[in-house]
Chain A
């Protein structure tokens, strides 16, 4: 499912809101989430999961084309940890399909 499909699907459930409001709201939610992570804040959504930053150490990488060593600086990357409820739901859905 893409962002625009998600907006359409939410819009059907929120029939009292104009599509353009749902569209703007979804984009605002995603912008807020990106801003939080860029500001080194965590995101905690009960039942869904949490987003935080993980530190990657600096390391010596290689240019895959030339094989030349390249110094890669340490950096932070966003990490998502699914909440227990989401984890269980997703895992249970697999069992249903197989069983």
Chain B
């Protein structure tokens, strides 16, 4: 089962003692805020977890893989996630051991 906003809110209700409405609001705001900061052009660095960074990609010639038609790919800004060392080592240690 994938972790979702609902399961995160449930955890805050059970473990932090927020009421259900507060828990739901906090989880929604958490992801909204990260999105807003990225949209404003600033990276988000969450120590222990990882960094959300922005990269500006130049335009390049592309093509429709289905039709073979040439279509230019416009310059764009994308977000990338760089997992932190702590998260990387937790995943490497635990994953694949089940």
Measured CB to CB, the residues of A under 8 A from B are: 1-3, 6, 9-10, 13-14, 16-17, 21-22, 24-26, 28-30, 32-34, 36-48, 50-51, 53, 75-80, 82, 86-87, 89-91, 93-94, 97
B residues with a Cβ closer than 8 A to A are 1-5, 7-8, 11-12, 15-18, 22-23, 25-27, 29-31, 33-35, 37-50, 52, 54, 56, 75-81, 83, 86-88, 90-96, 98
Give the chain B neighbours of A33 by CB distance below 8 A.
3, 8, 49
- Report B-chain residues with C-beta under 8 Å of the C-beta of A13: 29, 33
Report the separation of the CA atoms of residues A93 and B56 in the bound assembly, to the nearest whole angstrom: 11
Inter-chain CA distance A28–B1, complex, in Å, is: 19
CB of A28 within 8 A of CB of B11, answer yes
Q: How many Å lie between the Cα of A80 and that of B75 in the bound state?
A: 21
